[in-house]
Amino acid sequence: MSMNLAEGLSAGVQALGLNLSAEQQQRLLDYLGLIQKWTRVYNLTAVRDPAEMLTHHLLDSLTAVGPLSRHTQGKSIRVLDVGSGGGLPGVVLAICMPELNVTCVDTVAKKAAFVQQVAVSLKLPNLRGLHARVESLTDPYQVICSRAFASLPDFVTWSRSALADGGVWMAMKGKHPQDEIDALPGNVQMFHVEPLMVPGLDVERCLVWMKPETTAQL
């Protein structure tokens, strides 16, 4: 039974309490279409079934929109999505939060090229794909995010040089990664773990927020 993707997306958006226009939802569906088309050639994702892509990729990435919106409060900031592959969650954030300036960085050239193609096809001036190692980036980003990328200690260590003053890390994880949190370098502080519910998926997900440890203030 092929599920109607538009209905599935709309129900998921509603379940997440997101306020997305018809145009934004169409862009998300068009993005899904581009992933499907390019995956045949470039193997962007292991998930091939469109209904599964909707839940495992789109809705999963959409869970970060509410928490990130609460953090940014509508401010126009620079977001770096590390090891974003086909652009998850970076492309989704760029579609849903046009005020953000989103860069998706990946060490695989064809994945960065795909994100560039998405930006052109979906007319997203606030999105770019960058082929680079995150350790080499020094431009400042106020939020650095990742989804299923690396352990938390590796993620913060590799991307540290790209974090703006006062910036934060936002990592999308499966179950509460206590061992990774315990292994964070001493100069990084985890300040919030937010449980996430993915509509249509019975899985544990959470968002781990971290920031550089500043000198203790009394």
Q: What CATH number corresponds to the domain at position 113?
A: 3.40.50.150
**pTM attached to this predicted model:** 0.94
Q: Do the domain assignments include residue 151? A: yes
Q: Could you tell me if 205 and 60 are in contact, meaning their C-beta atoms sit under 8 angstroms apart?
A: yes
Mean pLDDT of 90-94: 98
Beta bridge partners of 129: 104
Q: Do the domain assignments include residue 161? A: yes
Q: Do the domain assignments include residue 150? A: yes
Q: Do the domain assignments include residue 15? A: no
Q: Do the domain assignments include residue 13? A: no
Convert 6-20 to b/e letters by CB count within 10 Å (16 or more is b). eebbeebbeebebeb
**Residues 6 or more apart whose Cβ sits within 8 Å of residue 204:** 174, 175, 176, 195
Q: Could you tell me if 189 and 213 are in contact, meaning their C-beta atoms sit under 8 angstroms apart?
A: yes
Residues 116-157 have pLDDT tens digits of: 999 999 999 999 999 999 999 999 999 999 998 899 999 999
Query: What's the domain count of the chain?
Result: 1
Q: Do the domain assignments include residue 160? A: yes
- Determine what percent of the chain is predicted with pLDDT higher than 90: 80
Which pLDDT does position 156 carry in this prediction?
A: 97
Mean pLDDT of 104-118: 94
Please give the Cα distance from 207 to 218 (Å, whole number): 28
Q: For residue 218, is pLDDT > 80?
A: no
Domain hosting 140: range is 60-212
Q: What is the mean pLDDT of the chain?
A: 92
